[in-house]
């Protein structure tokens, strides 16, 4: 196992997030069974006090969870020079069977944590704890994932053996392979580009309509997730080729390298933030009829939708700029 | 209207030094009028007033204000209600030393973000009303007991609250000054403000200005009479 400050930080984050989520889960379980806002019982009064403390602690823990995704990817990228065969984060994540599962769990938890934090923000604006059951229900759903992430990440870091010869991104993101990554890499550029921009137009249309008609929430949430998936696919299928100016290099992680101006961070940060905002806006809009939130939700949802559209706009704008400025020609 | 339903407050619950200060009190306090909570030390008067004023939360039970739950409000909402609805007067005055009389009176209004000029005018108006206009620039540590308590009363009124909570406001005053403070509180009650005060001074709860006397003993109501 390698021990670096970043690995220690990631393990500490995983430990504190898991610990906090587990502690909060036991309170959440009691809360879901016994919460009764109309009652003045001792149990209810105690739950009301505890929810305030627990929400505050979870705010810090889940905020750290958001940052841990960035730190994890950055760490994987920075360790690439220490493993034979690794050219970028792909090789480091490929060292054992737990690298990519850790990354996937971190991505899922990133969106769930962002959703929880935004639900909590809205709940705090209602005087009668309007979303308390929703957010603690979500917390219970997140708890097993947080534990799993901590276990898988620990297994991954424990299995980082410097003598292992790993495979580079060229083999995983090759159009000739049989993995999902290879499938994406084998897409031809024209339909992929069409789908990429069609998705942007569709989401923009849904987003503008959603700002006016809040009942379109589920559609906007689904649209944001779909756009995220299409964007990742597009990065692998053609955007990476334009950046590297190489028709066979499909790696989505090499974009994070200094040699490419760290352009990956500029692409991924708005993309992830926009998806989290879009997903949360769609979910939060569902609670617009709760009496204590009627005056709050329209403003919050419009703000989040604006943020999501701005984030996607930034991503698409940068992607388009990279395509236009590239010396590679994929289309006739 | 303020309504208390089965309100209990236990300090250090579950500890060897557990202390039940208020035991299952149900009570309705109509808007307006001067209500005095009387009883010996340790009877629960102060605790009950802090619960009504949202300065503490009950161990169990509910408190409503104008039909809206008060005791379970999240802290940020409770703070808002406290700022707008309640004015507090304390036995020890609790004025901030080092600040002038005027600044002390203005202090509770700062979080509300009122125009400074309007705020200064409102504070001066209150000080004039309580005969303290000439003392506006004085530091509060130079005030006599009666002046300090009238300053505290002016401070309690700066946000124009519907409810005044006064905890033993006459305890540190002589007879004449107690009478003055009681007169001022009676005038506020006559203006349809709800004045709730605690006292174990017979000169207070036997005063003609008092509309209702509630006697507490060991955290329970033992007598409730209208005057």
Separation in Å, CA of B126 to nearest CA in chain A: 33
What are the φ/ψ torsions at residue A17 (nearest 5 degrees)?
A: -65, -50
* Position B130 pLDDT exceeds 80: yes
Which residues have CB under 8 Å from B154's CB, separation 6+?
A: B105, B123, B126, B127, B129, B130, B132
- State residue A332's pLDDT score: 65
**Pairing mode, strands B68-69 and B86-89:** unpaired
Structural domains of chain B, count? 1
Give which of B25, B60, B73 to mutate to test A binding, by max A Cβ within 10 Å: B60
A45:B57 CB<8 A: yes
A45:B59 CB<8 A: yes
Q: How buried is A208 (Cβ within 10 angstroms: 0-12 exposed, 13-18 middle, 19+ buried)? A: exposed
- State residue B10's pLDDT score: 96
A52:B61 CB<8 A: no
Give which of B72, B81, B82, B85 to mutate to test A binding, by max A Cβ within 10 Å: B72
- State residue A214's pLDDT score: 93
Give which of A43, A46, A50, A127 to mutate to test B binding, by max B Cβ within 10 Å: A127
Mean pLDDT of B168-177: 82
Here the ipTM equals: 0.78
Q: Is A84 in a helix, a strand, or coil?
A: coil
Separation in Å, CA of A55 to nearest CA in chain B: 12
Separation in Å, CA of B169 to nearest CA in chain A: 31
Label residue A81 by pLDDT band (50, 70, 90).
confident
Q: Rounded to whole angstroms, how far apart are CA atoms A258 and A249?
A: 17
- State residue B104's pLDDT score: 97
Percent pLDDT > 90 in chain B is 72
Q: Is A41 on the interface with B (CB under 8 A)?
A: yes
A42:B57 CB<8 A: no
B72:A48 CB<8 A: yes
* DSSP per-residue letters across A227-280: HHHHHHHHIIIIIHHHHHT-TT---SSGGGSGGGTTHHHHHHHHHHHHHHHHHH
What are the φ/ψ torsions at residue B4 (nearest 5 degrees)?
A: -110, 135
Q: Which tens digit of pLDDT belongs to each residue from B90-108?
A: 888 899 999 999 999 999 9
Separation in Å, CA of A27 to nearest CA in chain B: 18
Per the structure block, which two tokens stand in for B126? 């209150």
A45:B77 CB<8 A: no
Q: How many CB pairs under 8 A join A and B?
A: 35
CA A125, A52, B7: angle at the middle one, nearest 5?
100
Label residue B75 by pLDDT band (50, 70, 90).
confident
Separation in Å, CA of A42 to nearest CA in chain B: 4
Tell me the helix, strand and coil percentages in chain B, rounded to 5: 35, 30, 35
Distances (CA, A) of B197 to A31, B12, B202, B204: 37, 26, 13, 10
Which residues have CB under 8 Å from B190's CB, separation 6+?
A: none
Sign of CA dihedral A272, A276, A277, A282: positive
pTM of the model as a whole: 0.86
Which alpha helices (H) appear in chain B, and where do they start and end?
A: 45-52, 75-85, 101-106, 116-129, 145-157, 175-190, 202-205
Q: Which tens digit of pLDDT belongs to each residue from A230-288?
A: 999 999 989 999 999 888 888 899 999 988 999 999 999 999 999 999 999 999 999 99
- State residue A175's pLDDT score: 66
The mean predicted confidence, pLDDT, of chain A is: 92
* Position A80 pLDDT exceeds 90: no
Q: Which tens digit of pLDDT belongs to each residue from B1-13?
A: 899 999 999 999 9
- State residue B209's pLDDT score: 87
Report the CATH number that the domain containing residue B92 is assigned in CATH: 3.40.50.300
Distances (CA, A) of A140 to A13, A118, A277: 19, 16, 21
The mean predicted confidence, pLDDT, of chain B is: 92
Give the CA diameter of chain A. Answer: 73
Its domain, for residue B31, covers 2-226
Q: Which tens digit of pLDDT belongs to each residue from A159-168?
A: 988 788 877 7
Instruction: Return the DSSP state at B20.
Output: E
Number of H helices, E strands in chain A: 12, 0
* Position B139 pLDDT exceeds 90: yes
Q: Which of B5, B73, B76 sits opposite A40 (nearest CB)?
A: B5
Q: How many CB atoms lie within 10 A of CB B99?
A: 15
């Amino acid at each position: 196992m390698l021990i670096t400050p970043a690995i220690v930080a990631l393990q500490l984050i995983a430990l504190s997030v898991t610990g906090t989520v587990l502690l909060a889960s036991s309170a959440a379980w009691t809360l879901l069974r016994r919460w009764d806002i109309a009652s003045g019982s001792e149990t209810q009064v105690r739950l009301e006090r505890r929810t305030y403390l627990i929400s505050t602690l979870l705010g810090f823990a889940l905020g750290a969870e958001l940052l841990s995704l960035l730190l994890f990817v950055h760490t994987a990228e920075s360790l690439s020079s220490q493993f034979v065969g690794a050219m970028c984060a792909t090789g480091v994540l490929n060292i054992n069977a737990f690298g990519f599962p850790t990354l996937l769990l971190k991505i899922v938890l990133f969106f769930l944590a962002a959703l929880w934090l935004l639900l909590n923000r809205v709940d705090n604006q209602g005087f009668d704890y309007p979303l308390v059951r929703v957010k603690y229900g979500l917390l219970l759903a997140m708890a097993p994932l947080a534990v799993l992430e901590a276990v898988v990440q620990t297994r991954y870091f424990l299995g980082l053996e410097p003598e292992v010869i790993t495979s580079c991104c060229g083999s995983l993101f090759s159009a000739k392979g049989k993995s999902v990554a290879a499938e994406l890499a084998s897409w031809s550029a024209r339909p992929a580009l069409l789908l990429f921009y069609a998705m942007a137009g569709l989401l923009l249309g849904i987003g503008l309509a959603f700002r006016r008609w809040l009942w379109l929430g589920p559609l906007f949430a689904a649209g944001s997730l779909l756009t995220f998936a299409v964007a990742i696919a597009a990065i692998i299928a053609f955007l990476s080729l334009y950046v590297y100016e190489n028709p066979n290099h499909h790696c989505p992680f090499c974009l994070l390298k200094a040699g490419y101006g760290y352009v990956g961070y500029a692409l991924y940060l708005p993309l992830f933030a926009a998806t989290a905002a879009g997903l949360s806006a769609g979910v939060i809009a569902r609670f617009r009829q709760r009496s204590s939130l009627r005056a709050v939700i329209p403003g919050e949802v419009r703000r989040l939708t604006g943020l999501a559209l701005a984030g996607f706009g930034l991503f698409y704008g940068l992607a388009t700029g990279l395509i236009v400025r590239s010396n590679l020609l994929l289309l006739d | 209207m303020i309504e208390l339903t089965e309100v209990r407050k236990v300090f250090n619950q579950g500890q060897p030094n557990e202390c039940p200060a208020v035991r299952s009190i149900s009570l309705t306090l109509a808007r307006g009028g001067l209500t005095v909570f009387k009883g010996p030390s340790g009877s629960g008067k102060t605790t009950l007033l802090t619960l009504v004023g949202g300065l503490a939360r009950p161990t169990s039970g509910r408190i409503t204000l104008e039909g809206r739950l008060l005791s379970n409000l999240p802290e940020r909402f409770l703070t808002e209600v406290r700022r707008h609805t309640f004015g507090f007067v304390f036995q020890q005055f609790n004025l901030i030393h080092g600040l002038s009389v005027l600044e002390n009176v203005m202090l509770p209004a700062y979080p509300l973000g009122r125009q400074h000029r309007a705020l200064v005018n409102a504070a001066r108006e209150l000080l004039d009303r309580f005969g303290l206009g000439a003392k506006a620039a004085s530091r509060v540590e130079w005030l006599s007991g009666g002046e300090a308590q009238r300053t505290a009363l002016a401070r309690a009124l700066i946000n124009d609250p519907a409810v005044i909570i006064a905890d033993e406001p006459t305890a540190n005053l002589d007879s004449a000054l107690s009478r003055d403070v009681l007169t001022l509180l009676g005038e506020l009650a006559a203006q349809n403000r709800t004045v709730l005060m605690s006292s174990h001074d017979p000169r207070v709860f036997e005063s003609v200005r008092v509309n209702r006397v509630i006697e507490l003993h060991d955290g329970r109501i033992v007598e409730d009479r209208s005057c």
